[in-house]
């Protein structure tokens, strides 16, 4: 019998709202992301989970960052995409959503690529649209927008290399929240700014702190821009630019002007497209379009290469390196992920059949020993040759990899017809052998075909992401929050989020909040799932 899942979900939400003494205000309800249509697909699949905690992720706390896992889009300085806090178990969950009203002017497209939490448990989101971006402060329970600030952005045509095309405004997302509730981020592709919270509890606002650091004179504004900034354990800024493999190091304690910046150029003709991972010892791990690097800085703050390893870059067409279908750039599509108590760093490569590659972080006497393993992933029938433009999940010796092969969003033309063609499925777990001499594939999930960046809760033993299912009867995509068992890779439960491409995530990260709720940035705004018992 055909069911109207949306009506059933809304009915449950109303009952829960009454039970919670009308916690959700009418104003927030009126801002929901509209569904494209009803769906005959189930509202809830599976059953509530029992917690099966795993070992803590082992990630150290950077004293200059907000507490793990609330400081960066990838949760911490190791870019682990893990959290030592509990997420929802799927106990009669309800969904809320918001279009982020008043935060954007020119487009319904408002994905938020960096979602963090301040010391009061409020959400801070870096959101972007067509030639616009904003910093947004939100109530974590009602999704009410408490404050927002428009950001200066790079404008112009979408940026891409034959893969995904995104507006330059997107790259404001590579920033971080510090230990003083201040956001450090890039403005207009050339200046590092700091935004702090001000105002009263009832009327908060963002204000710029200090004068920032303008790097514009170092860049050809028509050719390049600053991609992102992260802080190390010594309080220094590591800054990278979009169209070269140049790294700048800025030490606020000794900086008086551009002449005090230190820099290093990595490989000729290489580019840095994703973020950096750092360790307490001062090592920075960087993946370019051709190689994996460990970089450090001396007492004079001058960066230098400790080791470099080219990875398999053989995915090509007529001997010309191409962008894999389902990625945004040539070469590896990942931010490096540190794991194994800091002993390893992992990426995926650009081989014809993609591999997960694990490196030893310490420089090896024999260069042949730098690589721990190179293991094919998504090599099952229907998995394609694999692609990955999401960060890996890394916890202790375990790595979770998600397939994005054939996923495409045509931002340049706002053309969503391709979403009727499903992207390749696949989520896999690979463990580094206890003796550090190789890797073993633990499980393969061939059902889930979403691209929301994963997050593992070590307290529940669940991996959270988004799943996308095609409803042929109603000619619409239905989007679900999904929880997988870390031990087996099996789907434990799924909860319908909404229908239509406004609920598509284009790889934005799923986030576990301090209130045990799950947040999912999507094209049309922000979604939230919370258990009701």
pLDDT digits (tens, 9 = 90+) for 245-263: 899 999 999 999 999 999 9
Cis peptide before 392 (omega within 30 of 0): no
Is the model more confident about 237 or about 409?
237
Please give the Cα distance from 123 to 528 (Å, whole number): 12
Nearest to 306 by CA among 331, 341, 333, 281: 281
**Which of 68-72, 203-207, 414-418 is predicted with the least confidence, judged by mean pLDDT?**
414-418
**Which of 28-32, 129-133, 264-268, 320-324 is predicted with the least confidence, judged by mean pLDDT?**
28-32
Residue 302: C-alpha distances to residues 108, 125, 250, 270, 519 (Å): 44, 33, 10, 20, 39
Confidence of residue 103 (pLDDT cuts 50, 70, 90): confident
Residue 228: C-alpha distances to residues 110, 136, 196, 326, 342 (Å): 20, 19, 18, 22, 23
* Maximum separation of any 2 CA atoms in the chain, in Å: 71
Q: Residue 86: CB partners within 8 Å, gap ≥ 6? A: 51, 457, 459, 460, 512, 516
135-154 pLDDT, tens digit each: 999 999 999 999 999 888 76
Phi and psi (nearest 5°) for 392? -75, 150
Mean confidence (pLDDT) of the chain:
87
Locate 264 and state its tokens.
């290093």
* Amino acid 163: pLDDT: 47
SS3 label, residue 28: helix
* Amino acid 227: pLDDT: 85
* Amino acid 416: pLDDT: 45
* Amino acid 40: pLDDT: 96
Residue 430: C-alpha distances to residues 346, 401, 477 (Å): 11, 8, 30
Q: Are 496 and 41 in contact (CB under 8 A)?
A: yes
Evaluate if residue 21 carries a pLDDT over 80. Answer: no
Confidence of residue 30 (pLDDT cuts 50, 70, 90): very low
Percent of the chain with pLDDT over 70: 85
Nearest to 167 by CA among 175, 158, 176, 154: 158
**Which of 119-128, 163-172, 364-373, 495-504 is predicted with the least confidence, judged by mean pLDDT?**
163-172
Q: What is the DSSP letter of 410?
A: B
SS3 label, residue 350: coil
pTM here? 0.91
**Burial call 125-140: b when 16+ CB within 10 Å, e when fewer:** bbbbbbebbbbbbbeb
Helices (H) and strands (E) in the chain, counts: 2, 37
Between strands 320-321 and 316-317, the pairing is antiparallel
* Amino acid 223: pLDDT: 60
310-323 pLDDT, tens digit each: 999 988 765 566 78
Residue 371: C-alpha distances to residues 304, 345, 361, 395 (Å): 21, 10, 9, 19
**Which of 176-190, 356-370, 428-442 is predicted with the least confidence, judged by mean pLDDT?**
176-190
Q: Are 191 and 212 in contact (CB under 8 A)?
A: yes
Evaluate if residue 443 carries a pLDDT over 90. Answer: yes
């Amino acid at each position: 019998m055909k069911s109207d899942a949306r009506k059933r979900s809304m009915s449950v939400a109303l009952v829960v709202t009454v039970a919670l003494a009308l916690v959700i205000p009418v104003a927030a309800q009126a801002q929901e992301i509209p569904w494209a249509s009803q769906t005959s697909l189930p509202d809830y699949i599976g059953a509530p989970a029992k917690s099966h905690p795993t070992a803590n992720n082992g990630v150290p706390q950077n004293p200059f960052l907000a507490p793990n896992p609330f400081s960066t889009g990838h949760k911490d300085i190791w870019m682990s995409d893990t959290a030592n806090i509990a997420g929802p178990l799927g106990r009669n969950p309800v969904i809320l959503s918001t279009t982020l009203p008043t935060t954007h002017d020119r487009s319904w497209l408002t994905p938020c690529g960096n979602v963090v939490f301040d010391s009061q448990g409020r959400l801070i989101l870096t959101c972007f649209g067509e030639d616009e971006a904003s910093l947004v402060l939100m109530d974590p329970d009602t999704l009410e927008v408490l404050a927002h600030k428009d950001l200066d952005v790079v404008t112009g045509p979408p940026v891409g290399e034959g893969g995904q095309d995104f507006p330059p405004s997107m790259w404001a997302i590579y920033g971080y929240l510090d230990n003083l509730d201040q956001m450090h981020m890039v403005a207009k592709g050339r200046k590092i700014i700091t935004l702090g919270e001000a105002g009263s509890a009832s009327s908060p606002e963002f204000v710029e702190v200090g004068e920032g650091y303008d790097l514009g004179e170092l860049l050809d504004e028509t050719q390049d821009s600053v991609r992102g900034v992260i802080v190390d354990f010594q309080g220094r800024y590591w800054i990278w630019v979009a169209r070269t493999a140049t790294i700048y190091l800025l030490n606020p304690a000794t900086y008086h002007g551009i002449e005090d910046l230190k820099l290093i150029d990595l490989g000729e003709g290489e580019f840095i497209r994703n973020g950096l991972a750092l360790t307490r010892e001062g090592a920075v791990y960087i993946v370019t379009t051709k190689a994996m690097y460990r970089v450090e800085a001396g007492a004079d703050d001058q960066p230098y290469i400790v080791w470099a390893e080219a990875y398999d870059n053989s995915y090509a067409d007529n001997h010309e390196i191409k962008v894999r279908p389902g990625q945004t750039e040539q070469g590896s599509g990942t931010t490096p992920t540190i794991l194994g108590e800091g002993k390893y760093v992992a990426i995926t490569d650009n081989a014809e059949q993609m591999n997960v590659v694990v490196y030893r972080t310490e420089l090896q006497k024999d260069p042949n020993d730098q690589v721990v393993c190179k293991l094919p992933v998504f090599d099952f029938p229907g998995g394609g040759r694999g692609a990955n433009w999401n960060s890996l999940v890394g916890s202790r010796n375990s790595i979770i990899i998600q397939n994005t092969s054939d996923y495409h969003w045509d931002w340049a033309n706002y053309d969503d017809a391709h979403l009727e063609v499903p992207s390749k499925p696949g989520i896999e777990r690979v463990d580094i052998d206890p003796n550090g001499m190789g890797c073993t594939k633990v499980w393969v999930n061939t059902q889930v075909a979403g691209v929301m960046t994963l997050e593992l809760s070590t307290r529940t033993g669940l991996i959270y992401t988004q799943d996308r299912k095609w409803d042929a009867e109603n000619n619409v995509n239905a989007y679900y929050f999904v929880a997988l068992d870390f031990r087996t890779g099996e789907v434990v439960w799924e909860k319908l989020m909404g229908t239509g491409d406004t609920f598509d995530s284009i790889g934005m990260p799923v986030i576990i909040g301090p209130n045990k709720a799950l947040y999912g940035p999507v094209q049309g705004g922000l979604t939230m799932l919370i258990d009701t018992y």
